[in-house]
């Protein structure tokens, strides 16, 4: 019985440990981010919009899905595309996301020249609820909008929260981009 308990505790501790984080440079958008070791990253760029998909599961093909991960979209020249400042555009995007969750509250902060907006909500799904965090960092001076969406199964919130927050906090941007 003691051996079974020891195996159970050792397994539980191993599962609770977060993967190591390694720094990944995103030269296309002059940024850096910490990625969980063993996770996958895919980059696509078209017409001034660069999208990074960072996921626990490999999702290479169109239509492939992942259960936990981050999509970081970087859009340049937002005023030309949307006829508004990046901060206004981000506010519109995140305000519309408030409709997704009854208790969703929009948080606003600043990081130097960047206006940061964040909202958290849950989406109901047949496979189980999905926790979503949208984080926008708008640079009105350069016209660039960084928009990150983290999603993961709500049932894994306690295991992934620390990892998610470390990844989101690690996003380092060049204020001149």
Task: Report which DSSP code applies to 141.
Answer: T
**Which pLDDT score is estimated for 64?**
74
CA–chain centroid gap for 103, Å, is: 20
Burial class (CB in 10 A: 0-12, 13-18, 19+), 90: buried
Instruction: Give residue for tokens 């901060």.
Output: 87
Q: What is the pLDDT of residue 66?
A: 87
Question: What is the pLDDT, as a whole number, of residue 169?
Answer: 95
Cβ atoms of 131 and 151 closer than 8 Å: yes
Query: pTM of this prediction?
Result: 0.85
Domains of the chain: 19-173 (3.40.1000.10)
Q: What is the DSSP string of 44-86?
A: EEETTEEEEEEESS---STT---SSEEEEEEES-HHHHHSS-H
Residues of the chain with pLDDT under 50: 4-15
Residue 165 backbone class (left: φ over 0; alpha: ψ -120 to 50; beta: rest): alpha
């Amino acid at each position: 019985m003691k051996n079974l308990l020891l195996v159970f505790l050792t397994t539980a501790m191993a599962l609770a440990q977060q993967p190591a984080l390694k720094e990944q440079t995103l030269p296309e958008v002059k940024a850096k981010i910490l990625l969980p070791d063993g996770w996958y990253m895919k980059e696509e760029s078209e017409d001034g919009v660069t999208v990074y998909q960072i996921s626990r599961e490999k999702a290479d093909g169109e239509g492939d899905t992942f259960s936990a991960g981050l999509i970081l979209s970087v859009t340049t020249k937002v005023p030309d595309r949307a006829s508004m400042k990046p901060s206004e555009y981000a506010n519109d995007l995140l305000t519309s996301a408030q409709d997704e969750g009854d208790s969703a509250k929009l948080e606003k902060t600043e990081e130097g020249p960047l206006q940061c907006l964040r909202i958290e909500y849950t989406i109901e799904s047949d496979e189980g609820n999905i926790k979503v965090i949208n984080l926008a960092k708008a640079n009105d001076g350069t016209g660039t909008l960084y928009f990150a969406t983290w999603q993961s199964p709500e049932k894994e919130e306690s295991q992934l929260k620390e990892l998610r927050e470390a990844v989101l906090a690690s996003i380092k941007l060049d204020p001149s981009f």
